[in-house]
Amino acid sequence: MHELSIAQSIAEIVLQHIPVKEGVSVRSVRLTLGAMAGVVPDSLEFCFSAIAEGTPLEGAHLEIEHVPLTAHCNSCGADGEIEPTLFACGRCGGTSLHVLSGREMQVRDIEIEEHEGVR
């Protein structure tokens, strides 16, 4: 289950980018996740929750923006969404494709909260 190592990496990235002081917690982390990233979102969320326990990330919600697999067909010139399991042009059936999107895996935004009265 490589989702565990991905969740660990996400936690490390977030912890590097939040203020290091008491009373700061993370409310949400927004990710961009491509169709070809090979990540099972439910497993990633479960692993992230487990890793977050006892840290400023505890209780944070992962918001996953799914990016479809799109490609440019070198045979007919069409750009469009393709099935990751088929990997063929939807217009002509050609398999000479250049991937345009769908491989993304990126932390996009971190929403933090400062608790009043804590310094």
Given CA atoms 11, 16, 114, 64 in this order, what sign does their dihedral have?
negative
Give residue-wise pLDDT tens across range 76-110: 999 999 998 889 999 999 999 999 999 999 999 99
Q: Tell me, yes or no, whether 91 lies in a domain.
A: no
Provide the CATH number for the domain around residue 43: 3.30.2320.50
Beta strands at 97-101 and 70-73: parallel, antiparallel or unpaired:
antiparallel
Residue 97 resides in a domain: no
Q: Give the integer Cα–Cα distance in Å for 106 and 45.
A: 15
Has residue 51 been placed in a domain?
yes
Domain for residue 74, yes or no? no
This prediction's pTM: 0.84
pLDDT tens per residue across span 17-70: 999 888 899 999 999 999 999 999 999 999 999 999 999 999 999 999 999 999
Among 45, 65, 73, 77, which Cα is nearest to 105's?
65
Number of domains the chain is built from: 1
Domain that holds residue 58: 3-68+102-114
Are the CB atoms for 51 and 15 separated by under 8 Å?
no
